[in-house]
Structure 1
């Protein structure tokens, strides 16, 4: 079952699309889309595949448009406001489905936002796909004791694997890393590989 609705955000209403599994959900998965100024929306193919994979794993999936994207109100805020948007969606979703484990995910710019928010949200599972680590300052991200899966393509020409590898070397927390041979940034032709990786790694719900 898929529903589109609107949630109050810090800069106005946020467009949200949720998909529930056939049975009662065993987790709450919230997914962040790529850069708003470069065509990123909740309908991005990688974001959509993550949502489908989470539902297949027994979670309710929640995708949303950052401020200024689609029918979400507000304007782009260089990551700061977008993190606040995510926190608002998480608060709404946790009130709607109380007590469920929180899965937090993001692709590219959305991966950066998910990583930023994970430091305070402490999700039960964090999934970042080709996270845009170039948005981070030099200091490490303060993550600890989080189940973190990082998926990347070794042919990514937008966020090169070498940059991610160098960034990871600064981190105290080492994620489970799956580097997909031959996959580019948008995983063209490799979305089934992405699905299979998520399904294999998903916590039991």
Structure 2
């Protein structure tokens, strides 16, 4: 798993990168929690998601947002971090121009950044939004959400209350042409303490189903 340094909009960005053997393999980018509350690319959930995608043949990248680890710059309340994510995707795509698709997975703050990136990059065909915080961050930009994906959260989350996440899910369910899969993990808090393995198992099951062509609208299946 090579350590990489690449250029971002505020200076260098530090990442961990695992290329796939197949040049056509899809790309997965994993986005970490809030930089000012201990979030880094070495968060256990981010680390495990990275390997989940890598084990399924994806070219996989996780990186530190600006101001974290060896990444330069200062925290920018989401604006600069979205630019960081776009630059990171540009970088990995420059190395894998024949990649057939992209996925983005984000946890907490990273889920908000990932969903914004999804709106700007039509090549992203799937997402995982783990413990998103619609009570804290504005998700109104999802109008409409362009891709099917997973929203997974805990029933005991006090940072992102289930009622707030449910409101986001219900809004997305109204959109046509995509399929949002929701999973509420009973007893899990925002940090999935004691349930990290169960979280990754749920994410793995979703990803495996998508790779089989499931959990997308029938019209998408026909196009493929």
Cα deviation, 1:138-171, whole Å, max 9, x if unaligned, reads 7351234412111111111111111111233333
1:199 aligns with 2:204: yes
Identify if the C-alpha distance between structure 1 residues 62 and 143 changes in structure 2 by more than 3 Å, giving closer, same or farther. Answer: farther
Query: Which has the higher mean CA deviation after the structures are superposed, 186-195 or 73-82?
Result: 186-195
Residue number in structure 1 paired with 2:215:
none
Query: Which has the higher mean CA deviation after the structures are superposed, 182-191 or 142-151?
Result: 142-151
Q: Secondary structure at the match of 2:171?
A: coil
Is the 1:153–1:182 Cα contact (8 Å) retained in structure 2? yes
What is the CA RMSD across the aligned residues, in angstroms? 1.8
Task: List runs of 5+ in structure 1 lacking aligned partners.
Answer: none
Cα deviation, 1:116-152, whole Å, max 9, x if unaligned, reads 1110113111111001223433735123441211111
Is the 2:106–2:129 Cα contact (8 Å) retained in structure 1? yes
Is the 2:169–2:182 Cα contact (8 Å) retained in structure 1? no
TM-score (norm 1): 0.91
Distance in 2 separating the partners of 1:24 and 1:165: 38
Distance in 2 separating the partners of 1:45 and 1:11: 26
Which of the residues 158, 173, 187 maps onto 1:182? 187
Instruction: Mark the structure with the bigger radius of gyration.
Output: 2
TM-score (norm 2): 0.84
Task: List runs of 5+ in structure 2 lacking aligned partners.
Answer: 213-224
How many residues get paired? 203
Is the 2:155–2:184 Cα contact (8 Å) retained in structure 1? yes
**More relative contact order in 1 or in 2 (CA 8 Å, sep 6+)?**
1
